[in-house]
Amino acid sequence: MPDPEIRYFNRELSWLEFNQRVLEEAQNVSLPLLERLKFLAITASNLDEFFMVRVGGLQTLYARGSKSKDPAGMTPGQQLKSISERSHQLTRDQYSCYLEQLEPSLAEANIRRLRMDDLTSQQTQFVQQFFNEEIVSMVAPLAVESPDEFPTLIGGTISMCVRLQRSAENDDDEKQRFVVLPFGRISTRFVTLPSEGTYSFVLIEEVAARFIADFFPKETVLECVAFRATRNADMAIREDLAGDLLLQMKQLLVARRESDFARLEISAEASTELTDFLKDCLGVEERDVYRIPGPLDLTHFFQVADAGTGEGNRYEDWPPLASPSIDPLESIFETISKQDVILYHPYESFDPVVRFVEEAATDPDVLAIKQTLYRTSRNSPILSALARAAENGKHVTVIIELKARFDEARNIEGAKALEQAGVHVFYGVKGLKTHAKICIVVRREPQGIQRYLHFGTGNYNEMTARLYSDVSLLTCNEDLGADAISFFNSVTGYSLPQSMHSLSAAPITLRDRLAEMIEAEIQFKNQRQKSGITIKVNSLVDPQMIELLYRASQAGVKVRLNIRGICCLRPGVPGLSDNIEVVSVVDRMLEHARILHFRHGGDDRVFISSADWMGRSLDRRVELLVPVEDDRCRARMMNIVECYFKDNVKGRRLQPDGSYDSPSKRRSSGLKMPAQEWLYRETCRVVELASRSRQAVFEPHRAPEQ
């Protein structure tokens, strides 16, 4: 329980609690087995990024002697101590889940991880041949006589550390020496074994450990253990300095490969002597050492989950459905000209968004395309369409964010390809990350120039659009079109946008707009008119926004928050936040949409946004807040958000002490209401009704005109 004087939860500890909720899905025996394994791998991937970015940044502050406190009143040193304690417990929970629950269940499903002592003679012969032909050829042992000679390891990859006894004839005072075998980015972590009726495998590091003596025929191997080191990736470029941004980004990628280490994971079997050697060489403190009782790097178990089969081991398939609002037989522009279209992915297909850009690329009436790109897929059809549009003579302008963390290399490659095709490419905005999701198509029509728009809460990535819940708005609303052009041109023209009537953009007007909307709800409540605030975002961190929500609660405004991950606000505190409830839904789809609903005296105001409520989103990124003007679309957004607060299966509620309750405690009857399943079933129902309606319409064949 935090100090009652503390108004905020610590951001990092709140994130760790989110990862614990993901782990609870892996521990949930009612879920399909391979889906549970995926959730476990997700927790490992999440934790890797957390150490690379958040912990790495705190370690840098701590090393500089910083005593500054976060809003929860914790210094960097205090945060690192608390993070270490919580992360060690989370790691223990991960391996308890894998070793005690998942691995035995996988074995029952004929998916078996075997140890070297379990192998048959045939399998032993197979892995020895694998060692001789692949590992010996691939891996080079590197002697380490001092920390200065330690090899440059690729962060997050598995290596072996070997402790050897020196030969008797060696005159060196040291009786032992150390050798490192870095595997690097191996393509084969799991060595598939010959077996009948089962998928059996052994870990490559266990194969290497069994036959490691072959590398050192004249020495005694005292021990050979696997380890994995995570590097600090929290580095930024100096955009205030003159220079080529593209070159600086390439230099950052190189620097990231040589940065300090934030965490050491090592086999629990490692001796104190070998562990101390690695700690010294890698420069990590004891609190950042994680002794692992099972396989290192659980992220690789995505491969096992994807390879496994068996009835009942996977979720029922939920293929994205074709939106009944989109007629596949007519031009996408004709459809949008008739009505605004809201798509809720992944329940509805992302294909219309791709089609929007692809049609624009070939439509002879399209004059220009303007688009922002933050993260795209590896072989993006949208990038291909933009290049094709430029080759077809369209005026194409793209803002591609080179600073999108961990996608820098891909975006650099994409930017080059677009430039070669004749696209005007901008590498974001100096000092800010361009995170807004917008595409503008300018088209010449008989009545004049028309602007067609796509606004989104998620990336232009057709692959993640099958896994993330996000909103797309397709419209040709004139006010939004004028604002969109003003916004885009201000970014590419390095200027402040002219006053916008409908859109709000960070870091200029978005924060003020949100504050105005919250203040308005307080006024409506004071005037005894309809009031209420419902917010769906991924993270709520910003102290100013939290204080505004506290003020609304104290005024009697009901505040409902659907926050997937980090929430620094403390709900349910008498006199402070007793009118605020916070629910987090963790399920098969990643909740990613940002939707805002203000009652506004009964004149409901609904927005979608690219921004979370974090300082970086409101002050250090280019983001958009987009009003949903169409009554039908607005009602749909309100219904979607509502279902998350009714979820009594996956909806966990945040308590004043920072814990999350179990949904089963609130399930008074046998009726279960999982939000994501309801959304998919409801989408199926609407699509089916639309299909029946079309079938019921008689359309006569007409005689051809003479």
371-390 pLDDT tens trace: 999 999 889 999 999 999 99
Whole-structure pTM value? 0.92
pLDDT for res 703: 74
Model pLDDT for residues 151-207, shown as the tens digit of each residue:
888 889 999 999 999 776 665 666 889 999 999 888 789 999 998 888 899 999 999
Q: Of 377, 432, 409, whose CA–CA distance to 611 is shortest?
A: 432
Residue 237 has pLDDT above 50, yes or no: no
Do strands 111-113 and 199-203 pair parallel, antiparallel, or not at all (unpaired)? parallel
pLDDT for res 494: 64
**What average pLDDT score do residues 282-288 get?**
93
pLDDT for res 90: 97
Q: What Cα–Cα distance (Å) separates residue 634 from each residue in 299, 513, 536, 596, 646?
A: 39, 19, 15, 10, 19
Q: Of 647, 636, 706, whose CA–CA distance to 673 is shortest?
A: 647
pLDDT for res 238: 47
* H-helix segments, 116-271: 121-130, 136-138, 204-210, 245-256
Model pLDDT for residues 76-126, shown as the tens digit of each residue:
999 999 999 999 999 999 999 999 999 999 999 999 999 999 999 999 999
**What average pLDDT score do residues 668-676 get?**
81
pLDDT for res 493: 77
Q: Are 571 and 654 in contact (CB under 8 A)?
A: yes
**What average pLDDT score do residues 136-164 get?**
90
Residue 251 has pLDDT above 80, yes or no: no
Residue 255 has pLDDT above 80, yes or no: no
pLDDT: which is higher, 597 or 251: 597
| Lowest mean pLDDT across 482-496, 589-603, 657-671 | 657-671
pLDDT for res 2: 47
DSSP state of 664: G
pLDDT for res 1: 46
> How far is 45 from 298, CA to CA, in rounded Å?
8
pLDDT cut 70: percent of the chain above it:
91
Residue 670 has pLDDT above 80, yes or no: no
For the chain, list the domains and their CATH numbers: 11-307 (3.30.1840.10), 332-501 (3.30.870.10), 506-688 (3.30.870.10)
pLDDT for res 667: 60
Most confident of 171-185, 304-318, 520-534, 667-681: 520-534
Arithmetic mean of pLDDT over the chain: 91
Q: Are 341 and 464 in contact (CB under 8 A)?
A: no
Residue 337 has pLDDT above 70, yes or no: yes
Residue 241 has pLDDT above 60, yes or no: no
Q: Please state the length of the chain.
A: 706
**What average pLDDT score do residues 613-640 get?**
96
Q: To which H or E segment does residue 281 belong?
A: helix 272-282
pLDDT for res 239: 46
**What average pLDDT score do residues 483-511 get?**
87
Do strands 424-426 and 395-400 pair parallel, antiparallel, or not at all (unpaired)? parallel
Pull the structure tokens for residue 66.
């910083």
**What average pLDDT score do residues 535-560 get?**
97
Q: How confident is the model at residue 663 (pLDDT cuts 50, 70, 90)?
A: confident
Exposure of 368 in the CB half-sphere (CA atoms within 13 A): 14
Q: Of residues 345, 435, 592, 600, which has the active-site annotation? A: 435
**What average pLDDT score do residues 683-703 get?**
78
Q: Are 188 and 158 in contact (CB under 8 A)?
A: no
Residue 254 has pLDDT above 70, yes or no: no
End-to-end CA distance of the chain: 83
DSSP state of 238: -
Give the three-class secondary structure for 358: helix
| Residue reference for tokens 């290497």 | 208
pLDDT for res 524: 98
pLDDT for res 327: 93
pLDDT for res 244: 53
**300 in active site:** no
